């Protein structure tokens, strides 16, 4: 394994699972699920783009595969595999690195440039380091908020004042009485 920048990543382990066998006839090749994946529910036409779904199915159904350690050169070697479609999953990530994403590969791999099948397939999954999040260190200490002083018996007065209410009511009544007196005098 290597990082995107090409740095070799030793350590960890990877597993390979035979998902399907294939047969070649005059119409091309035909996939046949292995017994472990017969009930996975993925249509054959979507099989090559379903590595993540197959990895979940593998974990849920505890499918047995071949697990190997990744050596100091960042390589996991799987030997003497029969032809078919394989799922490759990193079962343990290297220290300080994320696990690579599951992927599928066919064995043998057909090389269109060479016009032949290649049985020594090499895959080069990429991975990334685990991001280390460090909290920012302030340049100066954070000031403490002012202390909260509990209220004493006298609370500050806020809102509407009530002393003008009786005064205004009395003035209103006086004006009503005055208007009644003035009307009475006009009638006479």
Q: pLDDT tens digits, residue range 24-55?
A: 777 777 888 999 999 998 887 787 788 889 99
Domain annotation covers residue 85 = yes
Residue 146 has pLDDT above 90, yes or no: no
Structural domain contains residue 54: yes
CATH number at residue 7: 2.60.40.10
Q: What is the pLDDT of residue 165?
A: 81
User: For residue 44, is it within any domain?
Assistant: yes
Residue 16 — pLDDT band, cuts 50, 70, 90?
A: very high
State the pairing for strand pair 84-92/28-33: unpaired
Of 16, 12, 21, 32, nearest to 87 by C-alpha is: 16
Task: Answer for the pair 47, 100: CB distance below 8 angstroms, yes or no.
Answer: no
In a domain, 83, yes or no: yes
Distance from C-alpha of 68 to C-alpha of 1, rounded to nearest angstrom: 13
Q: What number of other Cβ atoms are within 10 A of residue 6's Cβ? A: 7
Residue 134 lies in a domain: no
Average confidence (pLDDT) over 7-31: 85
Looking at every residue in the chain, the average pLDDT score rounds to: 83
Give the per-residue pLDDT at 4: 73
- When divided into structural domains, the chain yields a total of 1
**Six-digit token pair at 175?**
């004006």
Q: Where are the alpha helices (DSSP H) in the chain?
A: 51-60, 164-187
Classify the phi-psi angles of 11: left when phi > 0, otherwise alpha if psi is within -120 to 50, otherwise beta: left
115 found inside a domain: yes
Domain ranges, residue 10: 2-127
For position 154, what pLDDT does the model report?
63
Q: Are 31 and 157 in contact (CB under 8 A)?
A: no
188 belongs to a structural domain = no
In a domain, 148, yes or no: no
């Amino acid at each position: 394994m290597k990082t995107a920048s090409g740095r070799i990543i030793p350590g960890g382990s990877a597993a390979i699972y035979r998902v399907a066998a294939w047969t070649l006839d005059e119409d091309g090749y035909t996939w046949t699920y292995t017994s472990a994946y017969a009930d996975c529910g993925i249509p054959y036409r979507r099989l090559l783009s379903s590595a993540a779904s197959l990895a979940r199915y593998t974990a849920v159904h505890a499918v047995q595969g071949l697990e190997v350690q990744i050596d100091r050169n960042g390589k996991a070697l799987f030997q003497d595999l029969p032809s078919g479609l394989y799922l490759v999953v990193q079962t343990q990530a290297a220290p300080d690195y994320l696990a690579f994403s599951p992927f599928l590969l066919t064995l043998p791999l057909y090389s269109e440039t060479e016009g032949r099948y290649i049985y020594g397939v090499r895959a080069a999954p990429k991975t990334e380091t685990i991001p280390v999040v460090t909290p920012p260190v302030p340049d100066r200490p954070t000031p403490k908020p002012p202390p909260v002083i509990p209220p004493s018996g006298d609370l500050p007065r806020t809102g509407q004042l009530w002393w003008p209410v009786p005064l205004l009511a009395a003035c209103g009544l006086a004006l009503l009485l005055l208007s009644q007196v003035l009307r009475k005098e006009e009638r006479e």
